[in-house]
């Protein structure tokens, strides 16, 4: 697919989502945001638990990255 067309479609979709979000009710938007945060936190916690329980994963990082 044409990358320029794909980028234009993405911008249009983001614009439409922002309009729908702005037109929605405040309580529903707040609940949706809260639910997303809870699910993300639960997912991260489960991922870390799985990493800790998996014996194939070492505790030492293979590559260290330095943030500037």
Strand intervals (E) in the chain: none
- Indicate yes or no: pTM above 0.75: no
- The confidence score (pLDDT) of residue 50 equals 83
- The confidence score (pLDDT) of residue 61 equals 62
Mean pLDDT, residues 39-61 taken together? 80
pLDDT exceeds cutoff 70 at 57? no
Q: Which two tokens stand for residue 28?
A: 């529903």
Give residue-wise pLDDT tens across range 12-37.
Answer: 999 988 887 777 777 777 888 889 89
**What is residue 59's DSSP assignment?**
S
Q: Where are the domains of the chain?
A: 25-54
Helix (H) or strand (E) holding 66: none
Cα separation, 15 vs 33, whole angstroms? 18
């Amino acid at each position: 697919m044409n990358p320029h067309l794909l980028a234009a479609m993405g911008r249009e979709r983001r614009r439409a989502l922002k309009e729908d979000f702005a037109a929605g009710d405040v309580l529903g938007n707040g609940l949706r945001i809260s639910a997303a945060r809870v699910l993300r936190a639960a997912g991260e916690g489960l991922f870390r638990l799985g990493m800790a329980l998996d014996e194939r994963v070492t505790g030492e990082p293979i590559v260290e990255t330095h943030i500037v």
